[in-house]
């Protein structure tokens, strides 16, 4: 029983969506190793003939196919090669007209009002979403919030949707690279950490505005994460001498930043899941998050919540953590418990159960 996996994610930089795909594939590989899946399942990852990010798997083959790349490969060559076999897509997009497939859609952000994405990007995604969600046999999403958003904007049938949460173990598997601390002069005083791609939805602009309410502070503001100007209309608000912008960091550097941060700040306006706060909680870094979208669902009682549209409130919540050690210790303890509720092993098991809806 061949089950193909759309491996285009192996040709892309690792952000939250690609992280999800890599961890799910590793989880499926582990289930095969432990013989917890049907013995006649044969998983094969299909990729474009391009430079791919290596992934170490024992039981799942990686096979390059075709001659195109990007969306053309995904919409033309991939379905032609797969034909009637089952296909799993883990990064929002899959072939538009294929029915025998499972798709993970992480959020419905392209439907939001505002200028978060380029017009071309929004138009393309809306067209593909409408087609693939109509044809696909099964749709996975990563929170109840995202499920409700997809139903609202795409009118997909609710019975086709399954909520499966993400995990946290990846951040514990890597060793911290503490060299990033000395390199960026982060050893002399505390710092507040923010991590994500520089996407307007992440609301980094209001982090910087919040500093106007924190004059005379005795800590740094550190932002880590990459950006894609072809997708996001990014303002140059990071040209601010009060912010230490580190750009893209490795997993090892990221773990070191979490472990040494005084707190983690994530006032995101829109999230399908919110992986960075879970990573921070797993490393006992106190978390301040937005009270919007999926974040209350994911963080529960383990975080301090702020109004992402009010820089003064963001500043107040940072001040609370610096002034009240009991709240900070509570967040560290409860955050660790909350992170343990999200497991890539469980995520992969629940996704594997959805394969029964496909024709094998």
pLDDT, tens digit (0-9, with 9 covering 90-100), for 84-104: 999 999 999 999 999 999 999
Q: Binning pLDDT at 50, 70 and 90, where does residue 214 land?
A: confident
Percent of the chain clearing pLDDT 70 (strictly above):
95
The residue whose two tokens read 């609710």 is: 158
pTM attached to this predicted model: 0.93
Is 50 exceeded by the pLDDT of residue 72? yes
Domain with CATH 3.40.50.2000 in the chain: 2-167+343-357, 173-339
CA gap 332, 317 in Å, rounded: 15
Q: CATH homologous superfamily for 2-167+343-357?
A: Glycogen Phosphorylase B; (3.40.50.2000)
The sheet that has 263-266: what strands, in order across it? 243-247, 220-224, 191-195, 263-266, 287-290, 304-306
Q: Which of 14-18, 114-118, 275-279 has the lowest mean pLDDT?
A: 114-118
Q: Binning pLDDT at 50, 70 and 90, where does residue 14 land?
A: confident
Q: Binning pLDDT at 50, 70 and 90, where does residue 242 land?
A: low
CA 29 to chain centre: 21
Of 152, 160, 109, 111, nearest to 132 by C-alpha is: 160
CA gap 89, 296 in Å, rounded: 27
The residue whose two tokens read 């992969």 is: 348
Q: What tens digit of pLDDT does each residue of 317-344 get?
A: 999 999 999 999 999 999 999 999 999 9
pLDDT of residue 119: 85
Longest distance between any two alpha carbons in the chain, whole Å: 64
- C-beta of residue 267 within 8 angstroms of C-beta of residue 199: no
CA 318 to chain centre: 24
CA gap 25, 14 in Å, rounded: 14
Is 80 exceeded by the pLDDT of residue 240? no
pLDDT of residue 118: 83
CATH 3.40.50.300 fits 173-339, yes or no: no
Helix (H, G, I), strand (E, B) or coil at 146: helix
The residue whose two tokens read 């990729």 is: 47
Q: What tens digit of pLDDT does each residue of 130-179 get?
A: 999 999 999 999 999 999 999 999 999 999 999 999 999 999 999 999 99
Q: Binning pLDDT at 50, 70 and 90, where does residue 40 land?
A: confident
Token reading at 281? 């909680």
Cα dihedral: 179, 184, 190, 192 (round 10):
-110
Helix (H, G, I), strand (E, B) or coil at 88: strand
pLDDT of residue 213: 86
Q: Which residue has the higher pLDDT, 223 or 277?
A: 277
pLDDT of residue 232: 44
């Amino acid at each position: 029983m061949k089950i193909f996996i759309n491996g285009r994610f192996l040709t892309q930089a690792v952000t939250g969506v690609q992280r999800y795909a890599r961890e799910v594939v590793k989880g499926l590989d582990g289930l095969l190793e432990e013989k917890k899946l049907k013995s006649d399942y044969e998983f094969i990852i299909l990729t474009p003939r391009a430079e791919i990010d290596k992934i170490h798997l024992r039981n799942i083959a990686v096979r390059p196919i075709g001659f195109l790349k990007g969306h053309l490969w995904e919409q033309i060559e991939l379905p032609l090669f797969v034909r009637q076999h089952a296909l799993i897509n883990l990064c929002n997009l899959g072939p538009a007209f294929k029915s025998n497939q499972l798709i993970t859609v992480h959020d419905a952000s392209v439907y939001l009002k505002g200028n978060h994405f380029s017009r071309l990007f929004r138009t393309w995604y809306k067209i593909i979403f409408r087609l693939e969600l109509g044809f696909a046999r099964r749709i996975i999403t990563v929170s109840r919030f995202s499920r409700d958003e997809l139903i609202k904007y795409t009118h997909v049938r609710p019975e086709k949707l399954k909520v499966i949460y993400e995990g946290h173990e990846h951040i514990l598997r890597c060793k911290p690279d503490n060299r990033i601390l000395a390199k960026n002069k982060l050893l002399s005083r505390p710092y507040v950490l923010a991590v994500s791609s520089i996407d307007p939805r992440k609301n980094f602009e209001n982090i910087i505005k919040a500093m106007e309410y924190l004059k005379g502070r005795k800590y740094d503001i550190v932002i880590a994460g990459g950006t894609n100007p072809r997708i996001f209309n990014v303002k140059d608000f990071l040209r601010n001498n009060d912010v230490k912008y580190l750009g893209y960091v490795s997993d090892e550097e990221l773990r070191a930043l979490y472990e040494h941060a005084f707190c983690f700040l994530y006032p995101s306006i829109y999230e399908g899941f919110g992986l960075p706060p879970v990573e921070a909680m797993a490393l006992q870094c106190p978390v301040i998050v937005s009270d919007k979208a999926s974040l209350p669902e994911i963080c529960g009682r383990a975080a301090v919540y702020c109004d992402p549209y009010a820089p003064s409130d963001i500043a107040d919540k940072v001040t609370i953590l610096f002034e009240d050690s009991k709240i900070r210790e509570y967040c560290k303890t409860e955050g660790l418990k909350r992170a343990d509720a999200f497991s890539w092993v469980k995520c992969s098991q629940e996704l594997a159960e959805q394969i029964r809806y496909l024709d094998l």
